[in-house]
Chains A and B, each alone.
Chain A
Amino acid sequence: MPATYEPIATTTLGSTQNQVDFNTISSAYTDLVLVFNGGVTSTADIWLRMNSDTGSNYSRTRLTGDGSTAASTRNSAASSIFVSVGTVGTNANMIIHVFNYANATTYKTTLTRFNSSAYTAASTGIWRSTSAITSLTLKAEAADTFTSGSTFTLYGIKAA
């Protein structure tokens, strides 16, 4: 039986890498929390995918501050949830909440906090699938890479 809030898996990159996968995620929890700290090597975005789905089944609404302007944008019918904002740089952190991930009846909702040297942001995303989530992927856009030393940790939260 899992504890209420416990780590499931963690990865620290020893070299640059395009994506990090958390596979065979146990269905024993209620929510997942994915924490990222690190950077990307170019001006790439960071993408979130579920169950390796690359179809146009994702969308998100976000709220951003760049130090001078508050703004909000939307991305629809996309091949992933774009969880970052602008140039990620090397000192970014991100906390992604995935609600009721093992529910096989509803679409899957995320809430993300993203912070970098250039932005602070919050976003909500959706994966339009009723499948239970068994894998999560964080990917740097296109062929870009996460920097060496970037850390990725997946936590599970178990409701009573």
Chain B
Amino acid sequence: MQILSSPFYGVSGSFESIATTTVAAGGTGTITFSAIPSTYTHLQIRAFGQTNRGSVSYDGAQMRINGDTASNYSAHNLTGTGSAASSSSSLTTYMQLPWVGFGTTTGSNWGGSIIDILDYANTSKFKTIRALGGADGNGSGYVTLTSGNWRSTSAITSITFVPDGGTTWSQYTQFALYGIKG
């Protein structure tokens, strides 16, 4: 059996940084990765965030792919609330992702997420997303594993994130896109 090696194993191995967005002062409503190259096999997004959803302590993200705003998304969550394990679902016009933001004040608590999309450019498959995320607030918090699906066989060329409850991502929020060669 021939063992295939990545031709890109040089300086960066099979895991390479594609693009990074860090929110500047004033915040921003939408974070976008566009013109995503099809030269990788998988994608990973690492997010560290906060939104302006001030009245509620935690927030999530709405993820859309290729600008699709139709009801082509589903998502299910396994969540720890600090007191119970729970599970929920969402079938709507975006993929609802775990808690990536918290509060409004710099220096307060921030959420983190790792979002994996395998075979993102494969035109024989719908796109399945796996996301692990959480935010802790010293007396409150959530940790969540989310499954998501975009019902399209199109290759992914763009991804957007908007806050689920708030309207803007806070300054210093960062979303980083990585490509993994397969």
Task: Show the binding face of A for B, using Cβ within 8 Å.
Answer: 3-6, 30-31, 59-64, 70-74, 76-77, 97, 99-100, 103, 105-107, 109-111, 113, 122-126, 128, 130, 157-160
Contacts of A74 in B (CB 8 A): 82-83, 136, 139-141
Assuming the contacts A63-B80, A74-B139, asked whether A160 and B20 have C-beta atoms less than 8 A apart, the reply is: yes
9 contacts between A and B (CB under 8 A): A5-B12, A30-B46, A59-B138, A59-B139, A71-B80, A72-B82, A109-B134, A111-B143, A126-B109
* Distance between A145 CB and nearest chain B CB, rounded to angstroms: 28
Q: Is the CB of A99 within 8 A of B48?
A: yes
Stretch at the interface among B62-70, B89-97, B172-180: B172-180
Bound-state CA distance A92–B28 (Å) is: 41
* Distance between B10 CB and nearest chain A CB, rounded to angstroms: 9
Q: Is the CB of A3 within 8 A of B136?
A: no
* Distance between B149 CB and nearest chain A CB, rounded to angstroms: 21
Q: Is the CB of B15 within 8 A of A5?
A: yes
Q: Is the CB of B138 within 8 A of A122?
A: no
Contacts of B15 in A (CB 8 A): 4-5, 157
Bound-state CA distance A110–B136 (Å) is: 9
Q: Is the CB of A130 within 8 A of B107?
A: yes
Bound-state CA distance A19–B78 (Å) is: 33
* Distance between B84 CB and nearest chain A CB, rounded to angstroms: 5
Task: Show the binding face of B for A, using Cβ within 8 Å.
Answer: 11-13, 15-20, 46, 48, 50, 78-85, 106-114, 132-143, 145, 172, 174, 176, 178
Contacts of B109 in A (CB 8 A): 107, 109, 126, 128
Q: Is the CB of B78 within 8 A of A63?
A: yes
Contacts of A103 in B (CB 8 A): 172
* Distance between A107 CB and nearest chain B CB, rounded to angstroms: 6
Bound-state CA distance A77–B136 (Å) is: 11
* Distance between B34 CB and nearest chain A CB, rounded to angstroms: 14
Q: Is the CB of B18 within 8 A of A160?
A: yes
Give the residue name and chain of the B residue nearest to A58 (CB): B138
Q: Is the CB of B136 within 8 A of A60?
A: yes
Bound-state CA distance A62–B135 (Å) is: 10
Contacts of B19 in A (CB 8 A): 160
Bound-state CA distance A135–B172 (Å) is: 22
Contacts of B133 in A (CB 8 A): 111, 124
Bound-state CA distance A50–B110 (Å) is: 16
Contacts of B80 in A (CB 8 A): 61-64, 71-73, 122-123
Bound-state CA distance A4–B69 (Å) is: 33
Q: Is the CB of A109 within 8 A of B48?
A: yes
Contact of A3 among B11, B82, B83, B174 (CB under 8 A): B11
* Distance between A4 CB and nearest chain B CB, rounded to angstroms: 4
